[in-house]
Amino acid sequence: MKINKEIEIKKLGFKDYNEALEIQNYYHDKICNIKLNNRKNNTSLLTPNYLLFVEHNHIYTIGKSGDYNNLLLNENSLKQKGIQLKKIGRGGDITYHGPGQIVCYPIFDLENFFTDIHKYLRTLEFIVVKTLKKFGIVSIGSEDHTGVWIDKGTANERKICALGIKASRWVTKHGLALNVNTDLSYFDGIIPCGLKGKAVTSMSKEIGHEVNTDEVIEELVKQFEKEFKN
């Protein structure tokens, strides 16, 4: 089978969550349709891979197995704070997206790389860990609590990046959310990822000053290409 390891980068800027989800679905369906037609027609057209970067308006998203009890605000409070709420099809529980946070959606045909969801999650974590290292932040991935953490296993452990994915026909959707210059007070309205007593942090909080998001995206792209194109 012919494979394509090229990755097309799409910087979407600032998009409403629902609009970005439609874009995700468009590229996901495009890849799936190529794969379906290849099987039906016994052809071998290459499938593309897309890497989307976006910032969202304030929103709490709840994964398919998420618990609404981890939302600490009522409907009126959500309206007053201008926060949307949406149930979505990814794995994981509840998380926050908003300005100052880089959300990265890899829409990959894993058959171009490797067909192992566990390895895929660990690779996403590794990419973030390597990116943070470039900015002087030491972090680690975690198999027991998926995501990227600082001081994991200590009384001061805190999460800097959340992961939640979905794959169908080995084509991925959703992805990771890295707190760069995020207003962390919005996490007070939820129990992030359903993990009670776990703190959340951002790159700017760890470094002590605002971080250039374009530079972070540039480094993430480098690390994605290093891990997936080799």
Q: Which residue has the tokens 């309206």?
A: 79
**95: three-class secondary structure by DSSP:** strand
Given the residues 32, 104, 161, 193, select the one marked as catalytic: 193
What strands lie across the sheet with 94-97, from one edge to the other? 84-87, 59-62, 94-97
Listed in sequence order, the DSSP H helices in the chain are: 17-41, 75-81, 117-134, 203-207, 213-228
* 32 in catalytic set: no
Q: Measured between alpha carbons, how far is 12 from 52 in angstroms, rounded to an integer?
A: 7
Element (H, E) at 25: helix 17-41
Question: How far, in Å, CA of 167 to CA of 110, rounded?
Answer: 9
Report, in this order, helix, strand and coil percent for the chain, each rounded to 5. 35, 25, 35
Q: Greatest CA separation found in the chain?
A: 57
What residues are labeled active site? 193
